[in-house]
Amino acid sequence: MPDRDTIKNVISEAEPKTIGDYFLLDKKIEEIKKNQEIESESLFKIAILFSFTAKGIKEAINVECCKLGVIPEFFAGDYKQYAQDILNKNSELYRFKPNVVFFFIDIKSLFGENFFSPYQISNEERKRFVEEKIEEVKKLLQTLSKRTSAKIVFHNFEVPCHSPLGILESKEKFGFIESIEYLNSELRKFIKLNSPIFLFDYNSFSSRIGKDKILDHKMYYLADMKIGMEYLATLAKEYLSYIKPLLSLSKKCLVLDLDNTLWGGIIGEDGIEGIKLGPTSEGMPFWEFQKYILELFNRGVILAINSSNNPDDVLKALREHPYMILKENHFASMQINWNDKVSNIKKIAEEIGIDVSSMVFIDDSQVNRQIIKEALPEVTVVDMPEDSSLYLKTIMEIDDFNTFSLTVEDTKRGQMYSAQRERKKFQETSGNIDEYLKNLNTVVTFEKVNNFTIPRIAQLTQKTNQFNMTTKRYLDTEIKNFSENENYFVFSVKVEDKFGDNGITGTSIIEKQGKEWRIDIFLLSCRVIGRAIEKVMLARIIEQAKKEGVKTLIGEFIPTAKNSPAKDFYKDNGFKLAEKKEEFQKWNFELSVSNFNYPDFIKIKNEKA
- Cα–Cα distances in angstroms (integers) from residue 128 to residues 94, 170, 172, 186, 426, in the given order: 32, 19, 16, 14, 66
Is residue 433 domain-shared with residue 553, that is, in the same domain? yes
**In this structure, is residue 403 part of a structural domain?**
no
Task: Give bridge partners of residue 101 from the DSSP assignment.
Answer: 47, 152
pLDDT at 358: 93
**In this structure, is residue 532 part of a structural domain?**
yes
pLDDT at 88: 96
User: Which has the minimum average pLDDT: 146-160, 190-204, 402-416, 472-486?
Assistant: 402-416
**In this structure, is residue 402 part of a structural domain?**
no
Cα separation, 28 vs 91, in Å, equals: 30
pLDDT at 39: 57
Q: What is the mean pLDDT of the chain?
A: 92
Q: What is the pLDDT of residues 422-435, one digit of tens each?
A: 888 888 888 788 88
CB 360 within 8 A of CB 398: yes
Task: State which amino acid sits at residue 437.
Answer: L
The fraction of the chain above a pLDDT of 90, given in percent, is 76
Is residue 257 domain-shared with residue 238, that is, in the same domain? no
pLDDT at 596: 86
Q: Among 218, 246, 274, which residue terminates a domain?
A: 246
Is residue 127 domain-shared with residue 194, that is, in the same domain? yes
Query: Is residue 1 predicted with pLDDT exceeding 50?
Result: no
**In this structure, is residue 574 part of a structural domain?**
yes
In this prediction, residues 231-248 reach a mean pLDDT of 93
Query: Is residue 40 predicted with pLDDT exceeding 60?
Result: no
In this prediction, residues 391-406 reach a mean pLDDT of 92
Which residue range forms the structural domain that includes residue 500? 408-604
Is residue 331 domain-shared with residue 454, that is, in the same domain? no
In this prediction, residues 564-584 reach a mean pLDDT of 93
Which residues make Cβ contacts (< 8 Å) with residue 397, sequence separation at least 6? none
Query: Is residue 2 predicted with pLDDT exceeding 50?
Result: no
Which residues make Cβ contacts (< 8 Å) with residue 322, sequence separation at least 6? 278
**In this structure, is residue 401 part of a structural domain?**
no
Is residue 568 domain-shared with residue 449, that is, in the same domain? yes
In this prediction, residues 460-476 reach a mean pLDDT of 91
Q: What is the CA radius of gyration of the chain?
A: 27
Q: What is the pLDDT of residues 99-129, one digit of tens each?
A: 999 999 999 999 999 999 999 999 999 999 9
pLDDT at 5: 63
Which residues make Cβ contacts (< 8 Å) with residue 38, sequence separation at least 6? 2, 71
pLDDT at 6: 67
**In this structure, is residue 609 part of a structural domain?**
no
Is residue 335 domain-shared with residue 412, that is, in the same domain? no
Alpha helix (H) residue ranges in 156-266: 176-192, 202-209, 217-223, 232-246
In this prediction, residues 6-25 reach a mean pLDDT of 79
Cα separation, 292 vs 320, in Å, equals: 20
Query: Is residue 42 predicted with pLDDT exceeding 70?
Result: no
Is residue 553 domain-shared with residue 570, that is, in the same domain? yes
Q: Among 246, 281, 300, which residue terminates a domain?
A: 246
CB 255 within 8 A of CB 304: yes
What is the CATH classification number for the domain harbouring 271?
Answer: 3.40.50.1000
Is residue 536 domain-shared with residue 587, that is, in the same domain? yes
Give the DSSP per-residue string, 222-244: HH--SS-GGGHHHHHHHHHHHHH
- Cα–Cα distances in angstroms (integers) from residue 4 to residues 36, 362, 580, in the given order: 10, 28, 25
Cα separation, 142 vs 381, in Å, equals: 40
Is residue 272 domain-shared with residue 302, that is, in the same domain? yes
Give the DSSP per-residue string, 516-571: EEEEEEEEE-GGGTTTTHHHHHHHHHHHHHHHTT--EEEEEE---SS-GGGTTHHH
Is residue 311 domain-shared with residue 426, that is, in the same domain? no
The model carries a pTM of 0.82
pLDDT at 347: 96
Work out the pLDDT band at 476, boundaries 50, 70, 90.
confident
HSE (side-chain half, CA atoms, 13 Å) at 397: 13
Domain count, the chain: 3
User: Which has the minimum average pLDDT: 47-61, 225-239, 398-412?
Assistant: 398-412
CB 306 within 8 A of CB 344: yes
Cα separation, 115 vs 108, in Å, equals: 6
The torsion angles phi and psi of 461, rounded to 5 degrees, stand at -65, -30
**In this structure, is residue 196 part of a structural domain?**
yes
Is residue 236 domain-shared with residue 328, that is, in the same domain? no
- Work out the angle at residue 331's Cα, subtended by the Cα atoms of residues 330 and 336, and round it to the nearest 5 degrees: 140
Cα separation, 546 vs 552, in Å, equals: 9
Q: Among 246, 281, 310, which residue terminates a domain?
A: 246
What is the CATH classification number for the domain harbouring 486?
Answer: 3.40.630.30
**In this structure, is residue 260 part of a structural domain?**
yes
Is residue 525 domain-shared with residue 418, that is, in the same domain? yes
